[in-house]
A and B are shown apart, each in its own frame.
Chain A
């Protein structure tokens, strides 16, 4: 039978190490499956289990401790046709716990072989996530006060669709491995073995004690009925194929003359839910329709529909260098929370700064020209105030014209939403008569 063992680098472990047995069984499994070397990738991490990739004449990816499942996931997503086998010790199991849980949840078609020998062999026999509490370890009494984890139970709970617990010395290990590799989904084998170099020196372990240990726990053998489902990559590709392409970013052509020839700074201040950010975006788009450059910065808390919302917009015929507000040309003060948030900026107003303020809100003393509007009296809803304020600016040809505003709305909104905002703009005409 064709062997996958790297003849120029034959396996070399400590005498009596179960890793040697597992290496031979894996070779046999590959051979039984009649695979070609280039169809297989062995992904490994740190520790003695990390020697596996060098002993096989297959593709190999050896990386950082506990991260093997992440590399394997990237490889499998990129190349779904490959057989990806991960070898990991009980050390990798512990340090890579988050990756183990997520790989179980994803159900990507990778095979994980946990070479579970109850200790960190390579660093001198410290305790691991699976070390029994009564074992004598290189890390003192620490294992006595931490409960070992049952990898199979954890993986099943995390959604693994195939879990087998097995002794490295079980005669049909290679056949079990073949089944796990053939399984279409995430398959894991918790393979118990002996570490003669470190663990068994103080903790008597034999084929028999391993078998007894496995038998004392609930059996895990292959598919986990409650977790069986479609493989991750297949689902991913199926769902991806139904996604609509994202249209390329919209280019806005210059259609109108700009109403000014220097930099203008606008502050829109309100509360969450007042569509402050949307108004900033409309204003920016309106600027673009006149070939103006624009920047827009938003400030809001982590809560949705609660707290302040503030938006800085700068419009300029030249490229905008400093994108902060120095002295605003226009402030739309539409909600108390936003006003309070940016109250320091009111002191930077010039006399020609237009401060359009909701009559219900209070603003700090400032030098600007105040235009108080009774939005509520004009039956303009709270969430429409920002758009109505833009409409008023357009009517007064302050910064933007009605044409610029209407074009910007056409860029931002479509269909019935657009009709709604255009209607609102029309209604906002009442504001001008009674400003």
Chain B
């Protein structure tokens, strides 16, 4: 066995490299800057492009332009930058532009604390767009996930033509950690489906069963149109309510119907456990440490660590929670994903442990909460 020592952020960059990323644009912001730095070293020598925008809005704009010209694009920021990405996130959702967006979360609100970790953007990533249509959000627990989930994120962005977020955290992104790169089972690389050139091309026409329009690059041999306006299959503005509503439904359904194929999670189930802890991200590691401690002192605890947060894997959560008397949610904020869990598991008592002071939730806090709350 060989081990490699990487920051979570560096692992994201190498994952992007493995996934075929050839365009990166970003704006420096702690704790995400080392992704920009690493992409700057990886991409130009291999003929790719890495560029620093004048702000986050420009960085997203560069990415959307390059993606529509056929490149595999990524950007990285933290909460304040996600705010500025918002208008272009909506654009990428509604106009089906593949892009991978890394959010290395820091303590908010606002500029908050640049070097303190948090999972405070979990609802923001889902709902921080106009129109409220779904996005994909994957949450890494460690450096290995940063590498693997970034590869998945590119594949999903290409397959579904949508923005895919990695909800990282300063505590993962800026922590250097060992990983066994050879042991990571990477999925095969996926490319967006290119439209056949023997038929007239309509940029948003649905021809196959996937519900996702075939792609033609802006600048290719066939005229391609892209627009942020409400459009019909031809990429021109439409006011036809039937065309509009059908398209909105498709934008929801294309992700939700395929959720099974990208529901990532880790579980540590104990047969005789009465308590199930549902968690994600860096906090999942504290929960796992706490579960071990509880087990040593005679209380069995099961853990479900979600890595696909959005669209929310409801079926999985219901199935895994069945039979448990108590469900607890642990997350590094004052209560965000717990609202989803309470909605889905309305017949359960769902307890909550959260914290928003820049410190990791410790295994002892969780153990105390499980055994005494």
Contact = CB atoms under 8 A, between A and B. Distances in A.
Contacts of A299: 115
A252 to B, nearest CB: 6
Contact of A41 (B5, B6, B219, B235): B219
Contacts of B4: 249-252
25 contacts: A38-B220, A54-B237, A60-B225, A60-B227, A60-B235, A62-B225, A73-B58, A74-B23, A74-B73, A75-B65, A75-B69, A75-B218, A78-B219, A99-B58, A240-B47, A246-B42, A248-B14, A250-B5, A288-B5, A293-B3, A293-B177, A293-B178, A321-B292, A321-B363, A323-B171
Contacts of A71: 61-62, 64-65, 68
Given A249-B6, A254-B1, A70 B175 contact: no
A293 B144 CA distance: 12
Interface of B: 1-6, 10, 14, 23, 25, 38, 41-42, 44-47, 49, 51, 53-55, 57-58, 60-71, 73, 87-88, 91, 115, 171, 174-178, 181-182, 217-229, 235-237, 282, 285-286, 288-289, 292, 359-360, 362-364
A21 interface: no
Contacts of A239: 44
Interface string A46-75: 000000011001111111100101111111
Contacts of B63: 74
A377 B189 CA distance: 59
Interface in A242-263: 243-246, 248-254
Contacts of A249: 4-6, 10, 14, 181
Main secondary structure of the interface of B (DSSP, over half): mixed
A284 interface: yes
Q: Which of A60, A284, A293 has its CB near the most chain B CB atoms (within 10 A)?
A: A60
A275 to B, nearest CB: 16
Contact of A252 (B5, B46, B363): B5
A324 to B, nearest CB: 5
Nearest to B60: A70
Contacts, number: 227
Given A67-B88, A249-B14, A323 B177 contact: yes
A78 B49 contact: yes
Interface in A326-360: 326
Contact of A38 (B6, B66, B88, B222): B222
Contact of B54 (A60, A98, A254): A98
A50 B217 CA distance: 21
Q: Chain A's interface: helix, strand, loop or mixed, by majority?
A: mixed
Interface centre among A41, A71, A251 (most CB of B within 10 A): A71
Most buried by B among A61, A64, A299: A61
Contacts of A73: 51, 58, 61-62, 65
A284 B4 CA distance: 10
Interface in A86-124: 98-99, 101-102
Contacts of B362: 322, 324, 326
Given A62-B227, A79-B69, A320 B46 contact: no
Contacts of B68: 61, 71, 74-75
Nearest to B114: A302
A248 B38 CA distance: 11
A251 to B, nearest CB: 4
Nearest to B221: A38
Nearest to A277: B176
Contacts of B10: 249
A64 B91 contact: yes
A98 B60 CA distance: 14
B305 to A, nearest CB: 11
B181 A78 contact: no
A78 B70 contact: yes
